[in-house]
Structure 1
Amino acid sequence: MDSFAADLLKTGNTTVATLLVQHYRELGMSNTEFLIYLQIKSYTDRGVSFPQTDTIAKAIGLSNNQIFQELHTMIAKHLMQINTVQKPGQLARDSYDFTQLYEKLAQFVKTAKTEAVTEETDNARETIFNQIEQEFGRPLSPIELETISQWLDEDHYQPEIIRLALRETVLSQAFSLKYMDRILLTWQKKHLTTPEQIQKDRNQRQQSQADHSQAVKKKKTNDLPDIPMFKIGEDSQQHPSK
């Protein structure tokens, strides 16, 4: 093993969350503060919880005083804090704690997901408004717009389910939100919550109707009376009535 490989193994690795790398600036962290965090994290991963400021300063090309100022700024911005730990029989020890930074990151991710869901819902809402207006051939009234919003926000119908209900309504030439609402309620009572479940239910109903029609047709055929068949020109005496 050459010396470089030995140094790699000896110094170890520093693990940094990808989410933090992607969003540290959105958390209010400057590039310099992030570099300081990386330096501290590299020492923490090696078991050094409170590296010397002059060591950090040398690594990133700042003065010792600048590092002090940056650390105080990070504390003021709630990106980190310094904890003092006192264990029995040992001297008090300080350590850098970045719990607040990760709490900010967690909140940022949660907020970003909520905003993404809200945006997706708003887009779906607008799309559904436009599709219904197009199929009905008229603008929707304020009450109708509110009804559709309730389907999404209160009843929590998925947009694709509402679109399927619209398709059923158009095929039935109903062009009414009340008709759509009855369809949605019927599916809800049957616990049909996906397009696949709705299609399966439709196939079963169609098969049942086909079986019923076939059974009725067969019954009518069996109920027909026996009618004697005569060849044209035959003497009816040869076929006495029963």
Structure 2
Amino acid sequence: MDEFIQRYVAAGQTSLANYLLDHFREVGMTTDQLLIYLQLRRYMDQGTSLPDADEIAAHLGWDKQRVYQLLHEMISHKLMTITTVTDSQGQKQDAYDFRLLTERLSQLAVQETHQEVKQAATNERSTVFNAIEREFGRPLSPLEMESISDWLDKDNYKPELIQLALKEAVLSQAYSLKYMDRILLSWEKKHLTTAVQVQKERERQEPRHAAKPTNQPGGSDIPDVPIFKLTDN
């Protein structure tokens, strides 16, 4: 057992990114090519920049011609290249280079991030539509759906701001997109673009609301909506 442990430790370990294992197919690498990569990575980690195809074939139980074919495929599919490097003794030699593979993986990560952002935006949009339908107690008409889409896409109102306007409309028992639109416009005129900014503005105006006479004549084009905390349910 001690001899085995010594051999096990002496053989060393090969470092492999789990991201590659998760996404090797998505960057165009086959399972056989991945096995070739693992063998190449093993030798490269041990300091051999251009491993011998015969040794790789022996480890995998394949013939050398198959190894050469897979290496050629990986180069033609731009998963790797062969470059010239200078060793520690100043000698130039050929080496396998996997920077193209790393670049593909990085591009894939960027695409995943964009997809996640897009999906998050889609989820937020659905949340807004569902919340309005739930509070109004009815399905939205195509015209109403278009108006809400304009809030999001043309006016660039944040979903949280639209939901806050919905909450104020519900508290005023005004189940109308026109009423919500007046609220949103009033916030836009005050350059309030987030729910936090709206709350701070409400808190700033709270003393004025308390001092305002209840029988004051006249009205305003902007809805007089109740003050509430964002943590209210």
Same fold? TM cut 0.5: yes
Distance 1:184 1:92, change over 3 A: same
Q: Post-superposition shift, 1:134?
A: 3.8
CA distance in structure 2 between the aligned counterparts of 1:49 and 1:186, rounded to whole angstroms? 67
Distance 1:41 1:9, change over 3 A: same
Query: Aligned to 1:43, what secondary structure does the other structure show?
Result: helix
* 1:108 paired residue number: 108
Letter in 2 for 1:46: Q
> Is 1:83 matched up with 2:83?
yes
Q: Post-superposition shift, 1:185?
A: 4.4
Letter in 2 for 1:193: T
Structure 1 unmatched ranges of 5 or more: 217-242
* 2:49 paired residue number: 49
Q: Post-superposition shift, 1:144?
A: 3.5
Question: C-alpha offsets along residues 24-67 of structure 1, whole Å, 9 cap, x if unaligned?
Answer: 12222111111111111122222221111112112222111111
* 1:28 paired residue number: 28
Letter in 2 for 1:68: Y
TM superposition score normalised by structure 1 = 0.72
> Is 1:14 matched up with 2:14?
yes
Contact 2:157 2:193 in 1 (8 A): no
> Is 1:130 matched up with 2:139?
no
CA distance in structure 1 between the aligned counterparts of 2:58 and 2:85, rounded to whole angstroms? 27
* 2:194 paired residue number: 193
> Comparing 141-150 with 94-103, which one deviates more in the overlay?
141-150
TM superposition score normalised by structure 2 = 0.74
Distance 1:111 1:201, change over 3 A: same
* 1:69 paired residue number: 69
Q: Post-superposition shift, 1:204?
A: 4.6
Distance 1:103 1:153, change over 3 A: farther
Structure 2 unmatched ranges of 5 or more: 214-233
Higher RCO structure (Cα 8 Å, ≥6 apart): 2
Distance 1:56 1:158, change over 3 A: farther
* 2:164 paired residue number: 164
CA distance in structure 2 between the aligned counterparts of 1:201 and 1:11, rounded to whole angstroms? 67
Larger proportion of helix: 1
> Root-mean-square deviation (CA), in Å?
3.1
> Comparing 52-61 with 113-122, which one deviates more in the overlay?
113-122
Q: Post-superposition shift, 1:175?
A: 3.0
Contact 1:187 1:193 in 2 (8 A): no
- Alignment: residue pair count: 211
CA distance in structure 2 between the aligned counterparts of 1:186 and 1:39, rounded to whole angstroms? 66
Distance 1:157 1:54, change over 3 A: farther
CA distance in structure 2 between the aligned counterparts of 1:151 and 1:43, rounded to whole angstroms? 58
Distance 1:147 1:66, change over 3 A: same
Question: C-alpha offsets along residues 45-104 of structure 1, whole Å, 9 cap, x if unaligned?
Answer: 2222111111211222211111101111111222111113468x9654111111111121
Question: C-alpha offsets along residues 143-189 of structure 1, whole Å, 9 cap, x if unaligned?
Answer: 53333223333544432332121111122233333432343344454
> Comparing 55-64 with 115-124, which one deviates more in the overlay?
115-124
